[in-house]
Amino acid sequence: MAGMKRLYARVIEQDARARDGRNGASARSVATAEALAEAEARLGGRLAKTFVQFARAVGSTRWPVEIHAVEALAPYPPEWGRPSYLVAFATDGSGNDWCFDLRHREKGEYPIVFWDHEDPPDAAELEQADVVTTFDAWLEEQVGEALDEDGRADWSARQEFFERALEPHRETNTWPWAPSETDIAEVEREIGFPLPKDYVWFTRTFGSTPWPLAICDAKELLALTVQMRATNPRAKRGLIAFARDADGSFVAFHAKGRLEAVGGPPLRDRSFLALLERRIGADASPVSAPPAPVVVAPEVVPRNAFAAKIVDDEPTNSVWRAIAKAPVHCKRRSRRPCADRS
């Protein structure tokens, strides 16, 4: 049950985001005992046990698909030409529904049928429909598919972000001549553990980059690690350096995938791309060329500025005038007499 509570919490969290992005979206509402009793009266039977648990805990949702409130549960109208024993409880927003088949009840659950309005199942297909163990099992499947889809969209957006940010800083000696799959496999054999997948994507896409910190490509990992150990002999064993910061510290991979700073402050980043994203945001390198530096003509300073100032202020003071004109080595504190007195 603890696992289902976590699943329900994920649905509630994502559903709130989905509703925030839709103008006029109604608030999520959980089912009351009265609403559940009225729904069962309309349907002429008990609702699926795990669907009732979901309706009481979560209610109607817009994510991972649109799951109806219990007040909306009803058999299809006869004019729709659909079997009256099918009750739609969710829709994909394109006219297709997930339905309970009320003819078959097993351990408090009903078979779940997908009704495709363009290619509806015939009677034989409905009879052969698999009996889903629970409504929760169906929900887990939908959540997994939605997270995969959201993850792909998010990853695509992140790829574009990194490409825009790093393009002005690419190094022609490595990009587009980035490590191949064969290169990666060879490096992994040498270091004894697989490289993090996000770093593999980076180095196969960009090779290396000098900004926002100097990140080497996969083929340079061992050489950078040698440098790290030469300057930090007490570094933990098993670390493989992949970056060097402006302060001379290193960032390394642990065999278990976590990141570790060597010679610098501890890292809070959980992954390579999290580190890269944070540093890009912190350094905020401009895409356009930086403005040309302002060149200021150097001020001509007398060899003995202090003495010259005194002479300017006291032109009649012959003693200070003599000091100002004397050779530099004659003004040093030395017991030896100056060889160039005049």
Q: Let me know if residue 124 belongs to a domain.
A: yes
- Beta partners for 240? 253
| Structural domain count of the chain | 3
Shared domain for 102 and 197, answered yes or no, is no
Q: Let me know if residue 60 belongs to a domain.
A: yes
Shared domain for 133 and 176, answered yes or no, is no
The pTM for the full model equals: 0.48
Dihedral sign computed on CA atoms, order 43, 49, 51, 55: positive
171: pLDDT strictly greater than 70: no
Shared domain for 112 and 188, answered yes or no, is no
Q: How would you classify the pairing of strands 66-67 and 97-101? A: unpaired
- Cα–Cα distance between 173 and 75 in angstroms, integer? 67
CATH number at residue 85: 3.40.1580.10
pLDDT at residue 291 in the model: 35
pLDDT at residue 198 in the model: 87
Q: Residue 307 is part of which domain span? A: 301-342
- Cα–Cα distance between 281 and 283 in angstroms, integer? 6
Query: Which range among 47-61, 206-220, 248-262, 303-317 shows the weakest confidence by mean pLDDT?
Result: 303-317
Q: Let me know if residue 293 belongs to a domain.
A: no
What rounded mean pLDDT belongs to the chain?
A: 79
Shared domain for 70 and 175, answered yes or no, is no
pLDDT at residue 22 in the model: 54
DSSP symbols for 244-256: E-TTS-EEEE-TT
Give percent helix, percent strand, percent coil of the chain, each to the nearest 5.
45, 10, 45
Task: Encode pLDDT of 3-36 as tens digits.
Answer: 788 899 989 988 888 777 554 456 778 999 999 9
Q: Let me know if residue 155 belongs to a domain.
A: no
Q: Let me know if residue 247 belongs to a domain.
A: yes
pLDDT at residue 229 in the model: 96
Q: Let me know if residue 156 belongs to a domain.
A: no
290: pLDDT strictly greater than 70: no
Q: What is the mean pLDDT of residues 81-92?
A: 92
Contact 86, 76 (CB under 8 A): yes
Shared domain for 129 and 75, answered yes or no, is yes
Task: Encode pLDDT of 241-261 as tens digits.
Answer: 999 999 999 999 998 778 999
Shared domain for 306 and 279, answered yes or no, is no
Contact 253, 226 (CB under 8 A): no
